[in-house]
Amino acid sequence: MSLKRFSLILLLPALAACGDLSARTPSVDGPASFDHAAFHPAQLTGRVLNDDPSLAMPTYVAVVGGDLVLVDPRADSTIKEIDRSDGTLVRQFGRHGEGPGEFEGPWSIDPVPGSNSRFWVYDLTLTRSTLVDLKTDFDGEARLGDRMMRLHGSALLEPIRVRNRIVSLGFFQKGRFAVLDDHGAFLGTVGPTPLPEQTDIPAFVRQQAYQSRMKANPSRTLLAVATRQADRLEIYRPDGTLLTLAQRPFHFDPVFKVEEKEGRPVIATGDNLRFGYISLATTDRRIYALFSGRTRAGFPGEANYGRYIHVFDWSGRLLRVLKLDAAAFAVATDPGGHTLYTIRHEPTPAIMTYDLDRLAIN
């Protein structure tokens, strides 16, 4: 079995939910969640934009022109288009499978810069990107799935197109990002490997421990990388240069140990695991980072949801903390930062919308 395939088999359950990859580690003392009172969070009250019964458990949301595009892996149609103005479900598509226009593990959306209708859907299971054009793919001018691209690299996580290159997080023996050409061929890795001083910990395990979400600014000149199991937000250039580590409100790092599974080193986590930044949205001026701060022990089955948005500028300063009225799984903003969109799972799956203009932080 290839290392990439082995990695994905181990990784997918943990990415999809709060499940462990291996045996649980002992619990440690600490708060079940963090008190944000010192940051004087601004309360946000949202409204339901869409709670269509077709929503199963959406995991990713992106703004594409006047629409929202959702990734909904557990639904019969895994990609959904929602009108941002009134919440209407415009269409849904992408059945399960490996053929054209099909998806096995849809993971993220990468809007095409400057376009109001085009975006790439990345399939984590198939390591394949599909270019979708909402203006042409459903009216007979083009066929959904005609523009598919296999990405070559080890366990790529979040590919983003930057000029004529693709930059992606993943699990590598060295480096923070994989760099691919615009045809998906692997060119190499750049950036500092997480925990470079911890040479006794296999690089693959360190990459898992510092698994992150990544978003570019609209001009694709900067990358925000937010660690899922720490309050760590890094800002890079696309060439892998680390510009700054953003202000850390609580200073906690991933809690894990190394075990072996089928003769290979893997990460083991448990009830003491604390979730950090679980989703990102960006504008030219701001980074909106959805923060959990919850432990598995304190929030069984709900640790990977967040009620707080940490708002940073691109120099890494923490400008404001916002508190949502409903726990969220993922976030997005319009290009101007006027509206925040979130994915809610409880009590029913829904897309929520929040007005940011009144806070004057955009």
Backbone angles phi and psi of 217, in degrees to 5:
-70, 160
Higher pLDDT, 57 or 358: 57
Band the pLDDT of 22: cuts 50, 70, 90: very low
Rounded average pLDDT over 246-272:
91
Rounded average pLDDT over 68-92:
96
Cα–Cα distance, 145 to 3 (Å, whole number)? 28
Backbone angles phi and psi of 39, in degrees to 5:
-95, 0
Coil, helix or strand for 17? Answer: coil
Cα–Cα distance, 56 to 7 (Å, whole number)? 26
Higher pLDDT, 145 or 231: 231
Cα–Cα distance, 279 to 288 (Å, whole number)? 8
Domain limits for position 333: 3-11+39-359
What is the tens place of the pLDDT at every residue in 3-14? 343 334 334 444
What is the tens place of the pLDDT at every residue in 124-143? 999 999 999 999 888 765 67
**Single-letter residue type at 179:** V
Confirm whether 22 is domain-assigned. no
CATH label of the domain that carries residue 192? 2.120.10.30
Contact 177, 171 (CB under 8 A): no
Confirm whether 27 is domain-assigned. no
Give the model's pLDDT for residue 103. Answer: 95
Token pair listed for 302: 């709900």
Give the model's pLDDT for residue 25. Answer: 39
> Per DSSP, what are the bridge partners of residue 197?
none
Cα–Cα distance, 333 to 16 (Å, whole number)? 23
Backbone angles phi and psi of 287, in degrees to 5:
-120, 125
Confirm whether 21 is domain-assigned. no
Confirm whether 24 is domain-assigned. no
Confirm whether 26 is domain-assigned. no
User: Is the pLDDT assigned to residue 172 strictly greater than 80?
Assistant: yes
**Single-letter residue type at 243:** L
Coil, helix or strand for 298? Answer: coil
Higher pLDDT, 13 or 119: 119
